[in-house]
Amino acid sequence: MSQSVFFMFATLPLLLQGAVVAILITLLSIALGFAVGVPITFLRIYGGRFGKGFANGYEWVLKGLPVLVTLFILYLGFPKLGIQIGSFAAIVLGLGLRSAAYQAQIYRGAVLSISTEQTEAGLSLGLSRFRTFFTIILPQAFRLSLPGFTNEFTIVLKDSPLAYAVGIVEILKQGRDITTTRGHTFAVYLACSILYFALFQLFYFLFQRINKKFAIPGFIFSK
Amino acid sequence: MKRVPAIRSILLLAALFVSFSFVSCGNSGGQKVLRVGTNAEYPPFEYKSADGKQFLGIDMDIAREIAAKLGYKLEIDDVQFDSLIPSLMAGKFDMAMAAITITPDRQKQVDFSVPYYTSNQAILVKSDSTLQISSLDDLAKLKVGCQNGTTGQIYMDDNLVKPGKMKADNLIKFPTNIEAIAALNNGTIDALIIDDPVAAGYQKMQPVKKAFVITTDENYGIAFPKGSKLEDKVNGILKNLMASDTFNEILHKQDSVNLK
């Protein structure tokens, strides 16, 4: 038993190296999800028939696919079409494009939960539609989307071990490489789970702080 | 309006991150690279060093010799075993070395080098097990684990499951040997079918023992994508290497390695 506990500590340096990769995958995927998700949000709300249809279709497809399948299609399937995607790019694209679908949903919900009276009030004050959105709707929607965003961030973090399927050495793969030659299956996976949990708590705490900082005092949903 | 710049900087950061992710997958020029795919969860043929930095094992040493003779820089890609041939066909690497048995089915998809190692299938049980296995019929009554996509799995399917001698539910297919060995140790499965030299490797590392050997005389080969230009060159190098003392050294280096 004490030997196993010692072994858990001995694996830490390797697992921490993996943690850096896991964090990088998560940050890049979330960033890609943001970069794609925001335009999708706008298309769904303001896009007209074609734009709405496209955004709807995007969400419908990406939300309906397991990331592992998307990952294999990108990594092993696309080369058949002459498009080579590296393993790191494949996992970031796989996680990021799915995250875009969910992030779009989060932002859309946040924007739509600001009552139309506020837009009307802005317009009646003589602000343009554009300014009404950026100065009245967006600051509130940003705050409202934070809890959902926190959730999405941690989900992407916890899906990052899928990267091991295409040979990226993140936390889980580091752990597996250790067990291959040295056994201690339980100790190693326990160490992995503690590390994932610690990362989860770290980011959760960070987002809670941001949440608190940007909370709207006395805000209540209208209607 | 304080918030707008904050949002702008977040957007900028996002754009930066995304552009980085695409730059990082680009290839740098310079020396020619030999990209070798493997599944480094298979001692003594391929596994990682304790510090996680190096690929070790018989196949890896052979790959290093081949790269040196070609004058290429060696780059090893570690993917799952059942993804190796699809990855090869998708052009992810130039060749695959992972104790891959040459089989007619695989030959339909990829080309193989000359054989460089001959192996059989072994049955592993827990070291304190009292199971007596002396024939395939004995094996058919047990819960047997295997790694999906390996010749062990194919052997069990072709000789026991398909002829109806064994219940399909009793052959449990794991994605990798890591799960299979763990399941054996936990008692989830009674026995595990695995390449003989790998069984010998695990016997040194884990509380398991060989209970039975099925003579299959399988040959390991290096796999290439169909029509590979490297194939002839590598075959020449491999033949020379096998006739040299270096090859014996590579094979016997692993005998003395204490994997724990």
Q: Average model confidence (pLDDT) for chain B?
A: 87
pLDDT digits over A130-168, tens only? 999 999 999 999 999 999 999 999 999 999 999 988 889
pLDDT of residue A217: 75
Mutate to test the interface with B, among A23, A91, A181 (most CBs of B within 10 A): A181
Residue A223 near residue A150, CB atoms below 8 Å: no
Q: Which residues of A touch B11 (CB under 8 A)?
A: 34-35
Tell me how close the Cα of B218 comes to any Cα of chain A, in angstroms: 23
Annotated domain spans of chain A: 2-214
pLDDT of residue B28: 46
Greatest CA separation found in chain B? 81
Domains and CATH numbers, chain B: 33-116+221-256 (3.40.190.10), 120-217 (3.40.190.10)
pLDDT of residue B21: 44
pTM here? 0.80
Flag whether pLDDT at A178 surpasses 90.
Answer: no
Tell me if chain A has a CB within 8 Å of the CB of B80: yes
Tell me if chain B has a CB within 8 Å of the CB of A79: yes
Q: Which residues of B touch A79 (CB under 8 A)?
A: 90-92
CB contact under 8 Å between B52 and A169, yes or no, is: yes
Q: pLDDT category, A214, cuts 50, 70, 90?
A: confident
User: According to DSSP H, which parts of chain A are helical?
Assistant: 2-46, 48-63, 67-72, 87-112, 116-124, 129-132, 138-159, 171-182, 185-214
Eight-class DSSP state of A125 = T
**Cα distance between residue A94 and residue A87, in whole Å:** 10
Q: Which among B54, B9, B47, B80 has a CA at the least distance from the CA of B204? A: B47
CB contact under 8 Å between B22 and A89, yes or no, is: yes
pLDDT of residue A180: 78
Average pLDDT over residues A83-93: 93
User: Residue A161 has which token pair?
Assistant: 């071990």
- Least CA distance to B202: which residue of chain A? A181
Overall residue count recorded for chain B in this entry? 260
The dihedrals phi and psi of B120, each to the nearest 5 degrees, come to: -125, 180
- Least CA distance to B87: which residue of chain A? A76
Tell me if chain B has a CB within 8 Å of the CB of A176: yes
**Cα distance between residue A57 and residue A44, in whole Å:** 10
Flag whether pLDDT at B154 surpasses 90.
Answer: yes
pLDDT of residue B258: 56
pLDDT digits over B15-68, tens only? 554 444 444 443 445 789 999 999 998 889 999 988 888 999 999 999 999 999
A 81-100 → B contacts, CB under 8 A: 84-89, 92
Tell me if chain B has a CB within 8 Å of the CB of A31: yes
pLDDT digits over A50-60, tens only? 999 999 999 99
Per DSSP bridges, beta strands B171-174 and B144-147 are: parallel
Q: What are the C-alpha distances in Å from A175 to residues A11, A158, B98?
A: 8, 16, 20
pLDDT of residue B12: 52
Q: Of the CATH numbers 1.10.10.10, 3.40.50.10320, 1.10.3720.10, 2.40.440.10, which one belongs to the domain with range A2-214? A: 1.10.3720.10
Tell me how close the Cα of A75 comes to any Cα of chain B, in angstroms: 8
